[in-house]
Amino acid sequence: MQIAVDIVPEDAEAASSREARRARIRCSSGTAHPNTRTRQRPCAALSQVFTPPEPVGVVIGLVAGKALGIFLGTYLAARFTRAQLNPGLAWADVFGLSALPGIGFTVALLIGKLALPGSATGEHVKAAVLVGSLLSAALAAVLLRRSNVICLRLSEEPNLDTDADGIPDIYQRSATAAERQGGQTG
């Protein structure tokens, strides 16, 4: 795998644009100019997010840690206190909502900046925070979209009229069931 790098002359005032072009050509041919330093592009930092353990921990913490922590906290509160879920709310909905806080990345960026100031690992942690926030948003979107489809299907069911007689089928089913009960007792 080849990573593209920019070659920047150390003495920018003394180097002309022609020398900078020569340095780029020599770098692409495999020999770099001795008075140059390399700078990674953001995509290189993004590709290294999953190699060191610190950025991997950040991604796992944002995606799985926050979701499981909030979900388990809600479950324990409902299990061991008088708190109850709303009857229209399922545990799958709670899990989808618990994935949403992983989107917030400002505190994670601040902690990464304070813990690893000016290091390459600090840059990888920044990229990991952004990747983790995007993954958390995607997970929440998938889970909540699934819940939304189920809720829409359930909300449309009472208005379903398959025989097109103008009366929703749910009322005809209940009338048919009442007639059957009345016929069995009489």
Q: What is the pLDDT of residues 56-93, one digit of tens each?
A: 888 899 899 999 999 999 999 999 999 888 887 888 88
152: buried, middle or exposed (CB in 10 Å: 19+, 13-18, 0-12)? exposed
Task: Say what the pLDDT of residue 45 is.
Answer: 55
102's CB contacts (< 8 A; 6+ apart) are: 62, 63, 66, 67, 132, 133, 135, 136, 137, 139, 140
74 or 13, which is more confident: 74
Task: Say what the pLDDT of residue 28 is.
Answer: 44
Against a cut of 0.85, is the pTM above it? no
Task: Say what the pLDDT of residue 38 is.
Answer: 56
Select the highest-mean-pLDDT range: 1-10, 78-87, 108-117, 174-183.
Answer: 78-87
43 or 9, which is more confident: 43
Mean pLDDT of the residues in the chain: 74
